[in-house]
Amino acid sequence: MDLLNTLVDKGLRRELPTREEALAVLATSDDDLLDVVAAAGKVRRHWFGRRVKLNYLVNLKSGLCPEDCSYCSQRLGSTAGILKYTWLKPDEASRAAAAGLAGGAKRVCLVASGRGPTDRDVDRVSETIKAIKDQNESVEVCACLGLLSDGQAERLREAGADAYNHNLNTSEETYADITTTHTYADRVDTVRKAHAAGLSACSGLIAGMGESDEDLVDVVYSLRRLDPDSVPVNFLIPVEGTPLAKEWNLTPQRCLRILAMVRFVCPDVEVRIAGGREVHLRSMQPLALNLANSIFLGDYLTTEGQAGQADLDMIADAGFEVEGAGEVTLPEHRASAGCGSHEAAGGCGSHDSGGACGSHGSGGVCGSVPAPQPNEARTDLVAVRRRGAGTDLAPNA
């Protein structure tokens, strides 16, 4: 297929595909799916070999959030029966992190619900980072605390944080349909604050919220311009008690196409399969390792994930290997900090997007992509987390 040969060539050169090409990946047929995975797999292996980076989530503060993000079980007005607790103490968070590190994780992601941290919250998280690094000096720590105020990213960096996560989630055009208590521009501003402070930026998306193919391409192109080092791809977990509980729009095949499109647009960044892989990819998860080079180990913030040992077995059985603590995740040209100030003019190594088709509906593939077929609701695969952080039960790692 000429399209796939072109995309592989561009991916190996870090050249941005056109919008038509990105949309065409999402529009491929099931008959062509393995060819799409194989092509994107060539790009993945060129930059990351067969290594899989393991990440581990620690939910420092669960629920009680004043924001109204429709996808979130911790949102204002949520009736989901999730765990709710205030800030974990540093030693509690350190013990939770240790379980993930023992399971092979090399990055710990410290997450707290809320619009954004107060200065006191930054102090708390700083103490937690120190407690974790005192026990595991080589661990990477990523903070995810919401919208940042001026100076807070710098304080987190001084405390030892290596990265900051703040996802764009969906396209700018449709963002207000998902969240009204803050804006898309607020999210972009926080990613830029992380970059400016010298933190490795982590920013991704959520698929399956009823968005169009154009929306998916829009948000991935926006991420390319922001140039994060890692891009988590979440697949909506429709939790009862949230506005999107009835949104079952994904199939395993569509999830694979989305991951392939992200890999082609962001060839040399850490693409992470994040929340929802067990629910939507299901038995196709091992195939997705040919596209993404990073996953979360064990449970998520408020829902349960696949058993940690099952994750390790899946990686080995698929012919991949867990990335070691001493291995550098990113390709040399990114890891060496040669990307400058990460301005949003096209991203490190990008070749601008001047060849893109521009506005939606301009002919060809753009504007003519068929709607995805809805998936059968698999509520049996959605389980609220009842172990780990905030409980007396051992975590899943």
219 class by beta-carbon count within 10 Å (0-12 exposed, 13-18 middle, 19+ buried)? buried
187 given a catalytic annotation: no
109 given a catalytic annotation: yes
Residue 80, token pair as written in the block: 């989901």
Nearest to 246 by CA among 254, 256, 236: 236
From the candidates 14, 44, 72, 187, give the one annotated as an active-site residue.
72
Contact 292, 97 (CB under 8 A): no
From the candidates 44, 69, 266, 277, give the one annotated as an active-site residue.
69
Residues 6+ positions from 374 with CB-CB distance below 8 Å: 248, 249
Residues 6+ positions from 118 with CB-CB distance below 8 Å: none
Is the pTM for the entire model greater than 0.85? yes
From the candidates 14, 44, 202, 277, give the one annotated as an active-site residue.
202
Contact 171, 222 (CB under 8 A): yes
72 given a catalytic annotation: yes
Annotated binding-site residues read: 65, 69, 72, 109, 142, 202, 272
From the candidates 14, 19, 109, 334, give the one annotated as an active-site residue.
109
202 given a catalytic annotation: yes
Nearest to 58 by CA among 92, 17, 13, 35: 92
Per domain, the residue ranges of the chain are 2-331
Contact 218, 173 (CB under 8 A): yes
Annotated binding-site residues for [4Fe-4S] cluster read: 65, 69, 72
Q: Find the angle CA(277)-CA(179)-CA(299) to the nearest 5 degrees.
A: 25
357 given a catalytic annotation: no
Residue 284, token pair as written in the block: 């196709």
Q: What is the CA radius of gyration of the chain?
A: 19
- Measured distance CA(317)–CA(297) in Å, rounded: 16
What is residue 78's predicted lDDT score, i.e. its pLDDT? 86
- Measured distance CA(81)–CA(95) in Å, rounded: 25
Annotated binding-site residues for [2Fe-2S] cluster read: 109, 142, 202, 272
CATH of 2-331, one of 3.40.50.300, 3.40.50.1220, 3.90.1150.10, 3.20.20.70: 3.20.20.70
Nearest to 233 by CA among 269, 191, 262, 190: 262
Residue 107, token pair as written in the block: 């990055």
From the candidates 44, 65, 255, 277, give the one annotated as an active-site residue.
65
Contact 26, 78 (CB under 8 A): no
pLDDT in tens, the chain (397 residues): 799 999 999 999 999 999 999 999 999 999 999 999 999 999 999 999 999 999 999 999 998 899 999 999 989 888 888 889 999 999 999 999 999 999 999 999 999 999 999 999 999 999 999 999 999 989 999 999 999 999 999 999 999 999 999 999 999 999 999 999 999 999 999 999 999 999 999 999 999 999 999 999 999 999 999 999 999 999 999 999 999 999 999 999 999 999 999 999 999 999 999 999 999 999 999 999 999 999 999 998 888 899 999 999 999 999 999 999 889 999 999 987 544 344 433 443 333 333 333 333 333 333 344 455 667 889 989 998 999 999 989 888 8
From the candidates 142, 144, 255, 266, give the one annotated as an active-site residue.
142
366 given a catalytic annotation: no
